[in-house]
Amino acid sequence: MKKVISLIFSGMLIAHIPQAQPAAPNEIQILGKPRIRHYDRGDFHGDTQFWTACEDSLGVLYFGNNDGTLIFDGTRWQNITFPNNSSTRSLHFAQNGTVYMGGFGQFGAVGKDAFGNYQFESLLDLLRQEDQNIENVWDICEYQGSVIFRTYNKLLALKNNQIRVIPTEHAYYSNVVNDQLLIADADGLKVLELSSINFSTLVTQEELDGSEISSILHGRNDHEMLITTKKGTLFSLSGHKLTHMFSLVGGQSEYQLITGIKSKNEIYYFGTLNDQIISLDKNLNLLESGKDYWALQDNTVLKLFETRKGNVWALLNNGLDLLNTSSASTILFEEASVFDVEINRNTLYMATNQGVFKSTVSENRKPLNMTHLLEGQAWSLQTFEGKVLCGHDRGLFEISETGITRIGNITGVWKIIKIAQQQNKYLVCTYDGLILMEYSDSEGFVLNQKIAGFNESGRDILQAEGEGVFWVCHGYKGIYRLKLDKSFTRVLALEHFREKGLPSPFNINVFKWQGKTVFTTNHGIFQFNESTDLFEAFAPLNQAFGQEKNVRKIIEAGNKTWFVLDDMLGYFEGDGSGGLQLDPFLELKGSFNRGLECIYPMHQSVLIGTTEGLFAYDLNALKQTENQTVLTKVTFRVGAEIKEAILNAAEPISLPNNVSDITFEYAVPGMSDPETVQFRYRLSQAWSEWDAQPVKQYEQLNPGKYTFEVGSRSLLGETGTIAKYAFRIMPVWYKTNWAYLAYACMGGLVLLSLRKLVKAKISREKTLTQQEEQEKRNLLELELERIKLASEKEKIELEKQMLEQDVVDKSKELTNYTMLLAKKRELITNIKEALKDLKESARTEANRMSIREIVRSINMHLNDEEYLKVFETNFERVHKDFFDELKANFPDLSPKELRLCALVRMNLTNKDIAPILNISIRGVETARYRLRKRLSIDHDENMASFLDKLADANQEG
């Protein structure tokens, strides 16, 4: 194999091949311009002038501009500012994982709270009061464990949360190169020994032609540094030896060259004032410069920054541009739809809808410089007999270094195929049949007659195993098998297969794979069985692709099989058991010319023609890199209030049961091309389809435990990890575990109660049955008892009537007795009064004494209460419990008042009562009046009636 030397430039590899030893086409490594993504104010919503940039461990990018620091996680832009709203002039991601930022009068760190919000934390208070008056912090670098903040007149060395102030004079540049802390000031370039704060001069300002340094970079070896000045001069510094190399820019302006970096693939990039970017290879050979190549959105490049992936950001005076130099995909041509590619003698030819283009690819450090050779629709480009033939809408053309020659006078040529086992004979496939073509050294390519007997399109044709047998697939009519005569002038036999085991006659193509003829359809891949005269499923490829996929193209190239599957390009190695490689080519999905897909495999790359142009993929760069997918914010709504959730909680967070609009925002910061990132997600269910939206909202979720998962990928083949977020929505109180436990306990109790009730019911039923039987047995006895009770009731009623009559009789007797008693006492009283009168008329003292004795005896008899006790006893016997009821209701009544109540109860008049109680009628009235008060009897109510009611109430009770 011939030796190939590849030159790397601006993300491209171009073959450097000596003309004396032309390389075979598959040995040439062709890669084009990197993709450039433009970001303007509409994207980042901030000031358009950018000064500095850095990248953290996740791949989140920080850009300093006049509005502060813009933070880009690959999906969203956020902004944080200094307390004094200063512009951000310097940024640095330190080894401790902290991003530091500096501006006018302020410097500090970028922090992040538990909810994912960025914030600035000032370090100004670490300085003494007299040192806090600082101007702009122009640079931040890290050296020997210290973070160095450079201002114009001092260095601030931060270590262990303490700051050491190092005075300087007019320090305008600082950097750490080759493990040296370099400071440039008005005297020149110096090395600072941080431990002793000792400055030693490396290069004087006079040695640098009096111009300020714009960049100091790692050189071509470990001992060399490259120094550029603002005038554009490049110097080499090895030890203390300074060598003037050359000028990178023309003109005499002092500010031609502004910034420079050395990339991971050893390309030097320099940003200029008005000519965009200049690039040099590792040997300092000029690669590319100027706006014609880079096509940035602004000519002034204020800063260049390389990410860990190897992409370069251009910080412009007006916007940001991302140079995707690490991508395996580069652009060769964008001006037409590409149908075929051919490389012959280090010249690349393209067949497009606008004609044929060519460009030299050997010994060329420039991107492809396309020359338009032939206009009109070109379909194919093929090399036969060392010559390039073009199938064209207008006919067949031969393309050589001297010009373009039309072959024959035909039109509508798809392509040419060589006839196997026939020297110098070819079939020209046209819109309406096949034409024999022969080649000779003397006459070149000559068209013979059209092959008779077949007038269909020959776009998709393949020679079969038999001599003179060809398969021709028509996009709509199915498959034809042709048998040509030995002179290839006519068709001897023609078979037309519309189905014969095929799913349909549409979209069938024919290819060779591992020596076998296979047919691709909308539903699997088939092979023709000669013995059964049927098409049968071809298991080896169906196992690789599946039988529900539409495979439109199959190309074998070494150990790889390239294919177009459902509008997606991919390849597999070997028999396909290792899986299909589709992800690196996702960006091309749907951009192919259907039925005329252009795939041109090479040794280390593959060229792919699409409706959008020609692209090159570096196969060595098709490595599956995995980036970290992160959740940037989780919010939810409770009522009318929107709240933020903690992102990195140790335990799943709990959300109230009335939560709604749970929103997840996510990103994958490390992707090479943020514009092609896609996401898929799931919430304890199947994965969603891939989507470019970096947010997912769930309006309502039922109470329970959930885990939200989101993955990512880019259309350039990069993948992202799965980010997870666990949370739970609390149930209402009556659906909590404690409530369910209570329900279970209550349910158990209910079951036990039901069991007892069932048992009790069974027992009751049994008892009722026994009772019914007993009732039946006792029914007669009960009836007899009823008769007996009825007899006894009649007897009792009779006795009751007798008792009631007895009470009436006794009551009459008592009344009569009482009346007699009253008469008797009245008589005795009258006798007493008469004796009193007689005493007055007695003449002797003895008579008067005798009368007095008689009166005294009468008084003693009247005051004797024995007869009253007898009266009360008889009264209680007649009116049972009357006194008990009276005493219960009126416990304060005296014995005399009780007697009066009994006499009134018997309806005796005052006149009748007076002698019984041995008082006057007036005294009875007074006693009755007092008794009324004691009994609380109304003035209009009869006392005897009141006492009757009281007696009746006692009897009812």
In this structure, of 49-58, 751-760, 943-952, the range with the lowest mean pLDDT score is: 943-952
Give the pLDDT score at 761. 86
**Model pLDDT for residues 689-716, shown as the tens digit of each residue:** 999 999 999 999 999 999 999 999 988 8
pLDDT band at 12 (very low <50, low <70, confident <90, very high): very low
Q: Is the pLDDT of residue 11 over 60?
A: no
Give the pLDDT score at 478. 93
**Model pLDDT for residues 416-474, shown as the tens digit of each residue:** 999 998 889 999 999 999 999 999 999 999 999 899 999 999 899 999 988 899 999 99
CA dihedral sign, ordered 613, 570, 597, 346: positive
| Closest alpha carbon to 306 in 275, 335, 279, 273 | 279
Task: Write down the H helix ranges in 441-575.
Answer: 539-545
Q: What three-state secondary structure class fits 353?
A: coil
Q: Note the CATH number of domain 865-957.
A: 1.10.10
pLDDT band at 830 (very low <50, low <70, confident <90, very high): confident
**Model pLDDT for residues 490-517, shown as the tens digit of each residue:** 999 999 998 899 999 999 999 999 999 9
Q: Is the pLDDT of residue 44 over 80?
A: yes
CA dihedral 925, 927, 931, 934 (to 10 degrees): 130
Decide whether 1-20+31-45+210-327 matches 51-207 in CATH topology: yes
In this structure, of 716-725, 865-874, 896-905, 944-953, the range with the lowest mean pLDDT score is: 865-874
Give the pLDDT score at 84. 94
pLDDT band at 20 (very low <50, low <70, confident <90, very high): very low
Give the pLDDT score at 604. 83
Query: Rounded CA gap, 391 and 340, in Å?
Result: 10
Tokens of 645: 């959730």
Report the pLDDT averaged over residues 304-330.
93
Q: Is the pLDDT of residue 76 over 70?
A: yes
**Model pLDDT for residues 786-810, shown as the tens digit of each residue:** 888 888 888 888 877 776 666 656 6
**Model pLDDT for residues 352-393, shown as the tens digit of each residue:** 999 999 988 854 445 678 899 999 999 999 999 999 999 999
Query: Rounded CA gap, 389 and 379, in Å?
Result: 11
Report the pLDDT averaged over residues 157-162.
95
Could you count the other beta carbons within 10 Å of the beta carbon of residue 326?
23
Tokens of 159: 């270590």
Question: Mean pLDDT of all residues in the chain?
Answer: 86
Q: Is the pLDDT of residue 825 over 80?
A: no
Exposure of 765 by Cβ count < 10 A (0-12 exposed, 13-18 middle, 19+ buried)? exposed
Report the pLDDT averaged over residues 659-675.
92
Q: Is the pLDDT of residue 66 over 60?
A: yes
Residue 281 gets which letter from DSSP?
A: -
Q: Is the pLDDT of residue 655 over 60?
A: yes
Give the pLDDT score at 540. 93
| Closest alpha carbon to 311 in 682, 627, 639 | 627
Report the pLDDT averaged over residues 283-293.
83
**Model pLDDT for residues 588-627, shown as the tens digit of each residue:** 999 999 989 999 998 888 999 999 999 999 888 776 678 9
**1-20+31-45+210-327: CATH, from 1.10.3720.10, 3.30.450.20, 2.130.10.10, 2.102.10.10:** 2.130.10.10
What percentage of residues in the chain have a pLDDT greater than 70?
A: 90
**Model pLDDT for residues 124-154, shown as the tens digit of each residue:** 999 999 899 899 999 999 999 999 999 999 9
Please give the CATH topology (third level) of the domain spanning 380-599. Answer: Methylamine Dehydrogenase; Chain H (2.130.10)
Report the pLDDT averaged over residues 210-216.
92
**Model pLDDT for residues 881-918, shown as the tens digit of each residue:** 677 777 778 888 887 777 778 777 777 788 777 777 77
Give the pLDDT score at 17. 22
Given the structure tokens 């993504």, which residue do they identify?
Answer: 37
pLDDT band at 22 (very low <50, low <70, confident <90, very high): very low
Domain boundaries, the chain: 1-20+31-45+210-327, 51-207, 380-599, 626-731, 761-857, 865-957
Report the pLDDT averaged over residues 329-341.
92
Q: What three-state secondary structure class fits 337?
A: coil
Report the pLDDT averaged over residues 684-692.
91
Q: Is the pLDDT of residue 85 over 60?
A: yes
Q: Note the CATH number of domain 51-207.
A: 2.130.10.10
pLDDT band at 19 (very low <50, low <70, confident <90, very high): very low
Highest mean pLDDT among 341-345, 388-392, 699-703, 767-771: 388-392
| Closest alpha carbon to 60 in 814, 861, 864, 674 | 674
Output phi, psi for 851, to 5 deg: -65, -40
Q: Is the pLDDT of residue 13 over 60?
A: no
Pairing of strands 641-644, 355-360: unpaired
pLDDT band at 682 (very low <50, low <70, confident <90, very high): very high
Give the pLDDT score at 792. 82
Report the pLDDT averaged over residues 826-839.
74
438: left (phi over 0), alpha (psi -120 to 50) or beta: beta
The continuous run of DSSP H or E covering 267 comes out as: none
Query: Rounded CA gap, 369 and 293, in Å?
Result: 11
Whether domain 626-731 has CATH 3.30.420.40: the reply is no
What percentage of residues in the chain have a pLDDT greater than 90?
A: 56
Give the pLDDT score at 165. 94
CA dihedral 331, 54, 309, 610 (to 10 degrees): -20
Tokens of 596: 């005329």
Q: What distances in angstroms separate CA 537 from CA 523, 541, 570, 577, 580, one per listed residue?
A: 10, 9, 22, 18, 20
Residue 250 gets which letter from DSSP?
A: -
The continuous run of DSSP H or E covering 173 comes out as: strand 173-177
Give the pLDDT score at 650. 86
726 contacts 707 by C-beta, under 8 angstroms: yes
719 contacts 626 by C-beta, under 8 angstroms: yes
Residue of higher predicted confidence among 107 and 622: 107
Residue of higher predicted confidence among 766 and 317: 317
Give the pLDDT score at 141. 96
Give the pLDDT score at 23. 43
pLDDT band at 955 (very low <50, low <70, confident <90, very high): low
